[in-house]
Structure 1
């Protein structure tokens, strides 16, 4: 019964809300963990629709005992909120036990990013001969040159690239399209890449057999490249997205423009980058002003 409800919900997310495969996997993982906990804590026959808020709080206690950070716990709670809203809306549940469940408090962390000086030190072979080397550089440059998400890059198709106008169309969350201008150097790299790639495919980034790259593969590439010049804790594609936004803001780009380039639903998600810029301003003040260090 529980598994059927989860499957119906995931199907709804895929077909009606058109969530990315990566996001769907996150929902699926959270709900399978929750279902497994309910079966072990109570009985295998215990239905998810019969749970009350006190019983769900046992799940919170369990997660906390697993040493999960509060952000991860909140993500799982958000999954349950969406799930129970769906059950109630579709008549599969009468009550929504998540109404009285509050998110746990988290400390606000500023997005990590690479400094411009660190970006300049990242080196690629001047004469790239192999497909693998060229693909690695292209992946890095696309992340930093456009600020696109990992899921957007993996699903990028050749027909979304406008060589004439130097811009790329990406499909973001919920299949929302946006156009991103990119440096001329990226399109020169793209032309080289398309000439030497071993397999002709609608998908831009594939392995030598023509299959789309999987997230972990791309993450390993980015971690390897970033580790050349930085000891930053997180060495992921999202760090390059943060770097892209922070560097644009540092150069005077309008916050609303950055919001559109990143594909954020609201300005609040973009405003976090202003904190990074303020930190840079303070640093410059300390270095440049006669009384900055006093």
Structure 2
């Protein structure tokens, strides 16, 4: 059997059938190459003969390198996917990596902003200036939708429907989803698009339909958004660390705290698996305990 042909077929499977992102594919290919190099070093040249004992030796090597649990978990997940593909193609009888449990990644509890902190942030931008209007629209939209910063900077004019109050977001794996936004985000966006963006665009004479532009009139970058948020925090005189993903965490936490169901929040965030969304449920437990203590006669 030709391992190289199977590697190429696996790559096509990831690109076409799984519609995986370039970053995910890069990780899978790297992890597979590392495992095949390990097999060659161990004089086990065929990946079709791998069993649980071989995987245990491989795991030992990974832990000796003092890799994090998260990294080990990702490598095992990559190889589990590869062998699932081989099993489907009839190249192996069973998936040896199904016998291996993924190590606990010990995901940290996501940090979020409280309503009082958010309110201060929403009142520091000078809406009479193009950059102030842009910053307000950016802040309102990130909190209103919970979208990733990469999704936000790649928004085009045609993706926003102000009449319906929705935005079309292109997420990981080129998957698209519609997210509604509320009145505050709508007002901020209308102000920016009607006045601020037009002024910024004139500075570059660039033909772009990207929604968010920098001070030079060219498309805003991920790094640019982080700089903007840090400046907003400084103006608000808050001693918090604000990055775009914290606004995403805040969106999810506040939605769940106000009674949104987990499946709806999963869809809004663009999570493929519900387990990715469940990390936010711990935050609501304190609130549930408070409600219980106040409401239950024998609490």
TM-score strictly above 0.5: yes
Q: Quick one: distance in 1 between partners of 2:15 and 2:129?
A: 40
The alignment status of 1:103 with 2:110, answered yes or no, reads no
SS of residue matched to 2:97? coil
Q: What residue is the counterpart of 2:19 in the other structure? A: 18
Q: What residue is the counterpart of 1:250 in the other structure? A: 257
Q: Deviations over 1:223-258 (max 9, x none)?
A: 7468754556xx643332111011123334444433
Structure 1 residues 212 and 93 mapped into 2: Cα distance closer, same or farther (>3 Å)? farther
1:12-161 equivalences under 5 Å are 12-39=13-40, 41-42=41-42, 46-107=45-106, 109-122=108-121, 125-126=125-126, 138-161=137-160
SS of residue matched to 1:99? helix
Contact 2:155-2:169 at 8 Å conserved across structures: yes
Which moved further from structure 2: 252-261 or 203-212?
Answer: 203-212
The alignment status of 1:259 with 2:258, answered yes or no, reads no
Q: Deviations over 1:21-42 (max 9, x none)?
A: 3333333443344445445x43
Q: What residue is the counterpart of 2:189 in the other structure? A: 187
Structure 1 residues 165 and 77 mapped into 2: Cα distance closer, same or farther (>3 Å)? same
Query: Which residues of structure 2 form unaligned runs of 5+?
Result: none
Contact 1:81-1:98 at 8 Å conserved across structures: yes
Number of equivalenced pairs = 281
Structure 1 residues 151 and 21 mapped into 2: Cα distance closer, same or farther (>3 Å)? farther
Contact 1:140-1:222 at 8 Å conserved across structures: no
Q: Deviations over 1:149-177 (max 9, x none)?
A: 34533543332111222210123445443
Structure 1 residues 90 and 107 mapped into 2: Cα distance closer, same or farther (>3 Å)? same
Q: Quick one: distance in 1 between partners of 2:149 and 2:272?
A: 17
TM-score (norm 1): 0.73
TM-score (norm 2): 0.72
Query: Which residues of structure 1 form unaligned runs of 5+?
Result: 290-294
Give RMSD over aligned pairs: 3.9
Contact 1:114-1:230 at 8 Å conserved across structures: no
